[in-house]
């Protein structure tokens, strides 16, 4: 068990998301950086669908109420367990009474705290993820607050507490150092997030100058951005004619263009339908990069193809296979 010591941190319990309910009007929710959460679970030997804590504001502090292994993945944060520094993307064993403090990231914007066994909250519609819009799932359907006590799933947490040696003391290389960069963008600056994009249904409805600007310019992530979507600022995207559409299905990664001409990238808490025209879609393999883009930095789009998007997803899955194989070297088989 752990106790939350921070207030107003906007932290939520998330897993890989709530799949299969978009047709009923229920969004996917889930971790913004699903890759980071997946690695945290792999390092601890958790089930793939185990839930962790997504932390977007810092500092964030918890107290361990029992001996428990944990891992921190995602944004590169300066974390300390008591007075001891904690390595990112590494397994660590906490003792009862230890206080973990996660500091402001030096890069990225969200980190994930994974506990041995996963965070034990009820499964709602097949997922433990917090759906903030509907106020269900996760911990009472809301962000975590000071004084909340969360349990680790008994199957993982209790066993690891009894035999901590296999659960702590190893880690992996973060994906930004293991996966190929999307593509080189000559105009990109340090801190820019580069993601690959597939043209979407209404792509050809925009003026040539706007399409050129879409690929050429950096798009600033505005303070109005959150888990629902990134609102971007840049040159106005102008259609060749008025585009009026009925609401239709959308998924995380879709880039819509409202009447202002300033794009919005739909993210994990987005509604499952919308009527704004779609100019592109960030490929699934790059959504984790997008999730770590900071407010005030720029996002740059690189055009790609469907076969390239599939190949990029294969690369991401290959990275996870390597991490799984690494963990098996350090963790004894339960059989």
What CATH number is given to the structural domain containing 267?
Answer: 2.40.100.10
16-30 CB burial, b ≥16 within 10 A, e <16: bbbeebbeeebbbbb
The answer as to whether 287 is a domain residue is yes
Report the length, in residues, of the chain: 335
Please report the pLDDT score of residue 333 as a whole number.
57
37 by DSSP, 3-state: which? helix
Q: Which of 56-60, 238-242, 262-266 holds the top average pLDDT? A: 262-266
Do residues 85 and 164 share a domain? yes
The answer as to whether 54 is a domain residue is yes
Do residues 165 and 242 share a domain? no
Please give the structure tokens belonging to residue 240.
Answer: 């060749």
Other C-beta atoms closer than 10 Å to the C-beta of 157 total 26
The answer as to whether 331 is a domain residue is no
pLDDT digits (tens, 9 = 90+) for 153-165: 864 444 344 444 4
210 by DSSP, 3-state: which? helix
The answer as to whether 123 is a domain residue is yes
Do residues 45 and 70 share a domain? yes
220 sits in which H/E element: strand 219-221
Do residues 170 and 203 share a domain? no
Do residues 172 and 197 share a domain? no
Do residues 145 and 57 share a domain? yes
CB-based burial of residue 292 (10 Å sphere; 0-12 exposed, 13-18 middle, 19+ buried)?
A: buried
What predicted TM-score, i.e. pTM, was given to this entire model?
0.92
Do residues 292 and 197 share a domain? yes
Do residues 19 and 65 share a domain? yes
In this structure, the strands spanning 273-274 and 68-81 are: unpaired
What's CA 87's distance to the chain center, in Å?
A: 19
- Mean pLDDT over the full length of the chain: 91
Q: What's the whole-number mean pLDDT along residues 293-308? A: 96
pLDDT digits (tens, 9 = 90+) for 22-57: 888 899 999 999 999 999 999 999 999 999 999 999
The answer as to whether 186 is a domain residue is no
Do residues 26 and 128 share a domain? yes
Q: Which domain holds residue 284?
A: 193-304
Please report the pLDDT score of residue 154 as a whole number.
67
Do residues 258 and 203 share a domain? yes
Please report the pLDDT score of residue 221 as a whole number.
97
Phi/psi zone of residue 82: left (φ > 0), alpha (ψ -120 to 50 degrees), beta? left
Do residues 15 and 158 share a domain? yes
| pLDDT over 70, % of the chain | 94
Do residues 88 and 121 share a domain? yes
Tokens 């801190």 belong to 191
Q: Would you give the DSSP letter of residue 32?
A: S
Q: How far is the CA of 24 from the CAs of 69, 99, 225, 265, 273, in angstroms?
A: 38, 42, 25, 22, 11
pLDDT digits (tens, 9 = 90+) for 194-228: 999 999 999 999 999 999 999 999 999 999 999 99
CB-based burial of residue 321 (10 Å sphere; 0-12 exposed, 13-18 middle, 19+ buried)?
A: exposed
The answer as to whether 323 is a domain residue is no
266 by DSSP, 3-state: which? strand
The answer as to whether 20 is a domain residue is yes
Please report the pLDDT score of residue 245 as a whole number.
80
Q: Is the dihedral of CA 246, 247, 250, 256 positive or negative?
A: positive
Please report the pLDDT score of residue 168 as a whole number.
56
Phi/psi zone of residue 202: left (φ > 0), alpha (ψ -120 to 50 degrees), beta? alpha
Number of domains in the chain: 2
The answer as to whether 314 is a domain residue is no
Rounded CA separation 158/81 (Å): 20
């Amino acid at each position: 068990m752990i106790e939350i010591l921070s207030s107003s941190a906007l932290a939520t319990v998330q897993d890989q998301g709530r799949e299969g309910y978009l047709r009923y009007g229920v969004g996917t929710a889930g971790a913004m950086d699903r890759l980071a959460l997946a690695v945290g679970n792999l390092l601890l030997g958790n089930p793939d669908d185990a839930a962790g804590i997504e932390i977007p504001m810092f500092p964030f502090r918890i107290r361990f109420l029992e001996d428990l292994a944990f891992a921190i993945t995602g944004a590169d944060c300066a974390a300390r367990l008591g007075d001891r520094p904690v390595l990112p993307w590494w397994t660590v064993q906490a003792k009862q009474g230890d206080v973990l403090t996660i500091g402001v990231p030096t890069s990225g914007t969200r980190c994930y705290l994974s506990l041995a066994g996963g965070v034990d909250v009820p499964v709602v519609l097949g997922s433990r993820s917090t759906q903030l819009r509907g106020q269900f799932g996760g911990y009472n359907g809301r962000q975590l607050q000071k004084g909340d006590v969360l349990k680790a799933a008994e199957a993982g947490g209790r066993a690891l507490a009894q035999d901590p040696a296999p659960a702590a003391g190893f880690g992996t290389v973060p994906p930004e150092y293991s996966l190929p960069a999307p593509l080189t963008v000559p105009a990109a600056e340090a801190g820019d997030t580069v993601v690959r994009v597939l043209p979407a249904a209404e792509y050809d409805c925009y003026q040539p100058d706007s399409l050129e600007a879409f690929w050429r310019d950096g798009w600033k992530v505005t303070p109005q951005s959150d888990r629902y979507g990134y609102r971007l600022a840049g040159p106005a995207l102008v259609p060749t004619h008025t585009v009026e559409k009925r609401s239709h299905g959308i998924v995380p990664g879709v880039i819509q263009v409202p009447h202002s001409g300033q794009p919005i990238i739909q993210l994990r808490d987005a509604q499952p339908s919308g009527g704004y025209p779609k100019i592109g879609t960030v490929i699934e393999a790059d959504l984790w990069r997008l999730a770590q883009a900071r407010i005030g930095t720029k996002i740059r789009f690189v055009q790609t193809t469907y076969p390239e998007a599939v190949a990029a997803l294969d690369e991401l899955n290959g990275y996870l296979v390597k991490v799984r194989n690494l963990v098996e070297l350090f963790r004894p088989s339960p059989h």
